[in-house]
Structure 1
Amino acid sequence: MAASELMDRHLELSAADPELAGLVRAEERLQHETLRMIPSENYVSAAVLAATGSVLTNKYSEGYPGRRYYEGQQVIDPVENLARDRAKALFRAEHANVQPYSGSPANLAMYLAFARPGDTVMGMALPMGGHLTHGWDVSATGTWFRGVRYGVRRDTGRVDFDEVRSLALAARPKIIFCGGTAVPRTVDFAAFASIAQEAGALLVADISHIAGLVAAGVHPSPIGHADVVSTTTHKTLRGPRGAMLLCGADHAKAVDQAVFPGLQGGPHNHTTAAIAVALREATTEEFRAYARAVVANAARLAKELTARGYDLVSGGTDTHLILVDLASTGVAGKSAAKALDRAGIVVNHNAVPYDPRKPFDPSGIRLGTPALTSRGLDPGHMPQIAAWIDRVITALRDGRSGVEEQVRAEVRELMAAYPAPGVPVA
């Protein structure tokens, strides 16, 4: 999207709704000036942004290509086929469904396709790094199904596969989920697949956080191990806010019927188009280099934080994500996250395994490197970022004022030298 086109759209929005236009510009400035380190956030390219804001948002397209319930699909069918074919090629999957609105509906489709209310399902416990939709109590999946949860070892912070196997053989779940939202280590898909096969369960690999790393070959792929793969299309994949389901031909019909008509009506065609763009971008050497840089940045940042005395869950990271346990600092995770936000470093407070604190005010913070890597920051910047984080948390602990403002000014200066993709702020 050219700068002139962006300016035209800003002018159109300003004329139609000045209040909303002002909020959009404020968010642009915020994304431009701050160090965004929430692991699930990233910057899309100008091309992805253009597709998301295209006239494809005007279309209704219930059904699938060649089998629609609306006419006028001469363009929409090729758009969806393009996204599906690119997803299959990139991840080497036999079948792809690109219609789920987001990650949670994609996971809900797995329950509709392969289980019935009251059945037993198994996933990583939320406080251990799992996702709400993997059978946790406050989710519909924990209300409609009997959730069995596995965790991580206290001493290593890693999955104990002896425990997973014991639980699976005792509970005999219909579905086992692997993956999660705060898992800093490589997911052993082969080990989960062996257990699922022994327990007679369907294995769903939720790779929402690591899809870009898998696509680039810097994290092992679940294809060939998991029966179905669920993923969002943003995060490390750098696409729009959407989701996909990947599977073999034997599960294609059940997956497609669960998404439509089981859970959804018409797909969001502008999102489908943007997914297609992101999938094309993910085939490039530039993207593969990006994914390698994400992991390198995370590893260096973890090393620097450890050197400053911070406790990292599992002792470090293999991926894009770092989970910091602040219990030894005397600073709560929520307080730390808010202080860092005021300092221009955007993270989220997060529970850590065996956390004694409540979920809304936990002991940890969760950091990630996808967005800062998209802006061109490299391992040489990680010591400075670790130093900023330490300065803010230490000042908060000691009750010293002025540090957050100082760090925010320094962050703003660094970010000015590394423009954010797709963000039209000079």
Structure 2
Amino acid sequence: MPRNIGFWSVLAIVMSSQIGSGVFMLPAILAPYGYYSLAGWLISSSGAVFLAIMFALLCSRFPKTGGPHAYVQSAFGSHIAFFIGWAYWVVSWVSTVAVIVTCVGYLSPFIGDRSPMIYLVIEISLLCIITMLNIKGVYAAGKVGFFLNLIRFIPLFVLPLIALHYFKSSNFAVSNEISSLSTTQILGQVAILAIWGFIGLETGTTPAGSVENPSKTIPRAVIFGTICVALLYALNSIGIMGLIPANELVNSKAPYADATQYIFGGNWHLLISIIASMVLIGTINAWTLASGQIILGLAEDNLMPKFFAKKNSRHAPFWGILVSSAGIVILLILTSDKSLAKQISAIIDYSVAVFLFVYLVCGFAAIKISMNKNSNTKIFQWLAIYIAIAFCSWVIYETPLKHLAVSSLFVLSGLPVYFFWYLKKEPNFETLIK
């Protein structure tokens, strides 16, 4: 009989999914925004917490494997649910690629100036190891995630805490290019960047079928985990950005390693590189687990072929995990070419809009579900839903039109699969048109 995971393992999944490449890259990316970056973090953190409350409500009502698509299916039917589930599944590959590339990049002091092919082999090997771990089951993956969550305590808590002793408010300088924008434009840009750090807050809902008492365990883990991540990001932003001058931080390829050099000197940055890589391995593990659970949920709800619902003796959806990993490998091969790597980096930016679109539709689903007379939705839950919808709408509105156009391809790419699968179930073409 498969072993289910409890609160601490779900909490590790929630936090690991969020604390990935974003926290290690954003101090440098947000450096030009100076003190505006703190306001942007506050806005994004608040939006993320309200999103967490919304997903906690949805999961308490529908503790089903797969996460977002299950809530949308209940509210709007199978057709919309398919495209939400498909977009969520495919964009999870891109998120995983970003983390894998960043993870191996932090090991570059040890790997050296090797050819892109060597880095590609290491990236694929790392993915294969984590894939095999997840094939052993959710319980094994959850336990490893909890262990790796403890390791991240050093670079993400201890280091910025020490950095506060060297804090200089003058380091929060706004660049001339940014200062020419309006306050609304600046905060909009910062929010788009900062929300990347919270993408994945909902992943704790995806393995609901493998969680002990999911209607209570998952909501607690999602809300508590997101609040912890928000506080951790606040500490890191103030600590790292207050330590390194903005004109230096903006050009940093490894802000945490540079912060270690500022404080300790010597070769301590090598230790931080190792720890940062281990932290990112935890994130890769969480997203690999989530990808398998997403497609499992779609298959169980008859929105994808049933072979994705097949499980091995350890209750792991091995076909879903293997196909997800195969998709990630294809993207990793594309990133091995430097010019294509820049394109993939741009796709990562576009993926934020896809996640926010998924969250937005889930928000509307939450409203429809909560309008049921027997829902017993509390006032603060209603408030959280509306604020979450307003937040997603605002960030999407501030997203460049070009990014939104490309982001729509994540959703539309599911059309061939949708028509093939729907025609297989409904041979009558007139039914399809209806």
More strand by share: 1
TM-score of the aligned structures, taking structure 2 as reference length: 0.30
